[in-house]
């Protein structure tokens, strides 16, 4: 059996100077239920992280809120000292009060603490991509991003990204910092941020879709996704990731998992190429479902 290879998905450039393979890894799932506490099988999660390197996955996305702290700590335990070319992106600005509970706090002094602690947990001197996890309605974004810009100038952050933002948010942010990436919920059945994808593509900003696997009507047995999956001897999840890769050259999907088998299945999507007819049938079905 051929080893899956993320390099076959092509590459994308973050802010023109960090080139990564277009199939990344989202490290939210290497935590407990509700993204709270440690995972049920820490050893398997570490095997997943080690396996990433074998599969040429060289972009890992995490956040201090995953666990909290658990995901960043596991990444460092498993992979530090990091191999050359591995890009680890993290996020700050969301606090945790329990399983599935998240509250934005993006005051300048809090974000500075977030960055300092992520640097310590990840055991790095500079974070390649640091993303503001959420805009805080109680804090002017100029304050939040202004502090991240200061830390960028201090050499603690290489590039700055955003998460869960509108086109207007991105435009406002770009008056303060150079925005390298936008991470929003987006998949074949959830297209609420279609205009953000188009804006990112036009402005050469990397778009990182979280929750990249489709859900709902489109995934039912006998549906279009299912038929295309059968034709390629693939899963519907693999077709959904393949759709994302084809959707835009700035797309950087980050399917996550806590199982090696599932990781290999996700990365194998790099070999799955949709024909024009398959692409169109998926688009038509998605429009009907919407």
pLDDT at 290: 67
Chain-wide mean pLDDT for the chain?
A: 95
- The beta strand positions in the chain, using DSSP E, are 11-14, 18-21, 25-26, 59-61, 87-92, 94-98, 101-104, 127-132, 157-163, 179-185, 206-210
User: What domains appear along the chain, each with residue ranges and CATH number?
Assistant: 8-289 (3.20.20.100)
- Give which of 73, 5, 35 is closest to 256, Cα–Cα: 35
Name the pLDDT band for 14 (thresholds 50, 70, 90).
very high
**pLDDT surpasses 70 at 1:** no
Q: What is the pLDDT of residues 198-227, one digit of tens each?
A: 999 999 999 999 988 766 778 788 888 899
DSSP 219-241: GSTTSHHHHHHHHTT--HHHHHH
Classify residue 127 as exposed, middle or buried by CB count within 10 Å of its CB (0-12, 13-18, 19+).
buried
Tokens of 162: 């955003």
* 66 among known catalytic residues: yes
C-alpha 73/C-alpha 30 separation (Å) is: 11
- The larger pLDDT score, comparing residue 45 to residue 191, is at 45
Question: CA-CA-CA-CA torsion for 21, 131, 174, 151, nearest 10 degrees?
Answer: -110
pLDDT at 289: 75
Length of the chain: 290
Mean pLDDT, residues 61-69 taken together: 98
Q: What is the pLDDT of residues 234-289, one digit of tens each?
A: 999 999 999 999 999 999 999 999 999 999 999 999 999 999 999 999 988 888 87
pTM assigned to the model: 0.97
**pLDDT surpasses 90 at 189:** no
- The larger pLDDT score, comparing residue 214 to residue 8, is at 8
Q: What is the pLDDT of residues 92-139, one digit of tens each?
A: 999 999 999 999 999 999 999 999 999 999 999 999 999 999 999 999
**pLDDT surpasses 90 at 58:** yes
Q: Which residues make Cβ contacts (< 8 Å) with residue 233, sequence separation at least 6?
A: none
């Amino acid at each position: 059996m051929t080893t899956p290879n993320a390099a076959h998905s092509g590459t994308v450039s973050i802010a023109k100077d960090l080139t990564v393979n277009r199939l990344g890894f989202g490290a939210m799932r290497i935590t407990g239920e509700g993204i709270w506490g440690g995972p049920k099988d820490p050893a398997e999660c570490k095997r997943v992280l080690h396996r990433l390197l074998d599969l040429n996955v060289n972009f890992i996305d995490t956040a201090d809120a995953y666990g909290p702290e658990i995901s960043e700590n596991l990444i460092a335990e498993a992979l530090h000292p990091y191999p050359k070319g591995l890009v680890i992106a993290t996020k700050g600005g969301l606090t945790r009060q329990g399983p599935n509970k998240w509250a934005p706090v993006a005051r300048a002094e809090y974000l500075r603490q977030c960055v300092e602690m992520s640097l310590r947990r990840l055991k790095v001197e500079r974070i390649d991509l640091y993303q503001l996890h959420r805009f805080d309605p109680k804090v002017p974004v100029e304050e939040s991003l202004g502090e991240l810009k200061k830390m960028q100038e201090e050499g603690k952050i290489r590039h700055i990204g955003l998460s869960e933002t509108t086109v207007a948010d991105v435009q406002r942010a770009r008056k303060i910092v150079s925005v390298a990436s936008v991470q929003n919920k987006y998949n074949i059945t959830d297209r609420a941020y279609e205009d953000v994808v188009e804006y990112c593509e036009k402005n050469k900003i990397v778009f990182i879709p979280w929750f990249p696997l489709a859900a709902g009507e489109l995934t039912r047995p006998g549906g279009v996704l299912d038929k295309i999956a059968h034709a390629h001897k693939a899963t519907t999840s693999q077709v959904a990731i393949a759709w994302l890769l084809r959707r835009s050259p700035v797309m950087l999907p980050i399917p996550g998992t806590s199982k090696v088998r599932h990781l290999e299945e996700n990365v194998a999507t790099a070999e799955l190429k949709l024909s024009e007819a398959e692409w169109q049938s998926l688009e038509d079905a998605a429009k009907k479902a919407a």
